[in-house]
Structure 1
């Protein structure tokens, strides 16, 4: 009797992409400058000046984690109560949200809308796994809201990046197996989170920054990221 081939085995799952899980800031659009402006203003009010080089440390982490790093920079991390810190974070976010009013669909990064349409046509879920609580507002402003099957709210998971929680939650919500998911990130903490989740990691940005964090592939920008590229990446680094 002939033995079963892999394709005849009912437990066999073809090596195909089951979900693509995106960071938002720096991958879908660039709101990093808005974060920088809002944090810098708060820092100035607290007497803690900082530059864009320091601001790179705030990429991919939560609002409260960012605030703690700024307070540590100024030696003020023990100077305020939790209520005061929450108020600082609220004020920063209000400023940031006011800056988002200028976002339009034209602010979407090159190739992203086309990629999302390709994924929808192929029946592959697209998910947002961002530390930003403002993700739904940003997607609406960009006209992309309908192209994502799920947006993970950062408060719905126990730990933010570099822990894998956001990415794993996204995969569960769309019924995808982690090893057949591709995560796309521009920050070291995000790449670390993708790899900790057992997913393929594509970095957008500088290779010397994202490769050491564990990125399987690094692209200078999003222009060359299409469905064919994602399928080739899964074959090369995944199942």
Structure 2
């Protein structure tokens, strides 16, 4: 078998929460009077909450916010976001993704989440995947966001697997960069398709079964 473990980004790979992030940041930006649109939102992909806030505050022309005020704004955004996430159900997990994950797991491949999100556990609960993964490496454990490889290296450590035996599945170029920096294979999907650093390009999620050498 080519890979012993597969590490998945969450948002945009296992499920799609981008719209909820956008709506939450937009609501916060409107409240404090900062311009925010889809273009700015695209810069936040794979970036931590506090770093995302700094990008949004680039538009701010008033008095600088204190660190305490920034933390408060980030927490307010997260509260809005978590309220929106309550709309998610198991229907937000596609049959293709669910079947592929189950095939990989039954073949003996270890599975982990590698996400900058601090809400990974809550999202997995909403889509019916609580306890499914062998490890969770997320924003609650890391100090550096992608393209730093920390989140993926921690996932490999939790899985007790060498980085070279891991495949990362990512929809953001920063995530592919992080996988390369970690010494792991990478499969690009969604917005990361065609990125030169990716080892594989997934037009369909189920292609992972063949890439990982899973026998029918």
Give the CA RMSD over aligned residues: 1.8
Tell me if structure 2 keeps the 8 A contact 1:38–1:95. yes
Who is 1:27 aligned against? 13
**Alpha-carbon deviations, 1:32-71, whole Å to 9, x = none?**
0000000011111121122112211101010001000000
- Change in Cα spacing, 1:221 to 1:45, as seen in structure 2 (3 Å) is farther
Q: Which has the larger radius of gyration?
A: 1
Tell me if structure 1 keeps the 8 A contact 2:3–2:109. yes
CA distance in 2, matches of 1:97, 1:59: 17
List aligned pairs for 1:1-239, cutoff 5 A.
16-75=2-61, 79-206=64-191, 211-212=195-196, 214-222=197-205, 224-231=206-213
> What TM-score, normalized to structure 1?
0.84
Query: SS state of the match for residue 187, structure 2?
Result: strand
Deviates more, 1:97-106 or 1:44-53: 44-53
**Alpha-carbon deviations, 1:74-100, whole Å to 9, x = none?**
346x71111000000000000000011
Tell me if structure 2 keeps the 8 A contact 1:211–1:217. no
Tell me if structure 1 keeps the 8 A contact 2:2–2:212. no
Query: SS state of the match for residue 183, structure 1?
Result: strand
- Unmatched 5+ residue regions in structure 2? none
What is the CA distance between 1:17 and its match in structure 2? Answer: 1.2
What is the CA distance between 1:206 and its match in structure 2? Answer: 3.9
- Unmatched 5+ residue regions in structure 1? 1-14, 233-239
**Alpha-carbon deviations, 1:89-131, whole Å to 9, x = none?**
0000000000111111111145211121112211211100111
Aligned residue pairs total: 214
Tell me if structure 1 keeps the 8 A contact 2:12–2:171. yes
> What TM-score, normalized to structure 2?
0.92
- Change in Cα spacing, 1:195 to 1:109, as seen in structure 2 (3 Å) is farther
What is the CA distance between 1:25 and its match in structure 2? Answer: 0.3
